[in-house]
Homo-oligomer: A and B are copies of this chain.
Amino acid sequence: MRIIQFSKSTSYALHALVRLARSEPGVNVGIKELSASLGIPESYLSKVMSKLRQDGLVRAVTGASGGYELARSPEKISFLDVIQVIEGRQHLYECFHTDAQRPSKPQCLIHQVMDGAEERLLQYLREHTIQWVLDRRKEHEPIV
């Protein structure tokens, strides 16, 4: 029974992005500082950051005094963006019937309910951005 739960990778990505959004633009944050301040294994986080770069959410600079920074402004990065980069774009529900076994052309009712539920979820995640977090963040909090 597959677990309906976001992966740690997604959580790591979200925390890292908030952390990056907190630093001045133009300042690179290294993986060491990132992993230390968030409490995430360094080598694993580097994998996650690499994925974020490949999908255009952050920019990376190699070499001394290199590191990461956001590729676009925090209000342009939604939770949904992050989740879809890490988890992929699979649907919440998938038919177990093949096309041949499928009763009839338009979607069956169970499918309709599940897709409706998914849309509610995605809509909420689309409406909430990294900037949303920054706006409500208290300065004294170490992370978020």
Residues of A near any B CB (own CB < 8 A): 1-12, 14-15, 18, 39-40, 79, 83, 86-88, 90-97, 101, 103-104, 108-110, 113-114, 116-118, 120-121, 123-125, 128, 132-133, 136-137, 141-144
- Please name the 7 residue pairs, one residue from A and one from B, whose CB atoms are nearest each other, closest first: A2-B7, A120-B120, A117-B124, A121-B121, A108-B144, A109-B133, A113-B128
Residues of chain B contacted by A88 (CB below 8 angstroms): 1, 3
Residues of chain B contacted by A5 (CB below 8 angstroms): 2, 4, 90-94
Residues of chain B contacted by A137 (CB below 8 angstroms): 109
Residue of B nearest to A18 (CB): B110
Cβ-neighbour of A79 out of B40, B113, B124 (below 8 A): B113
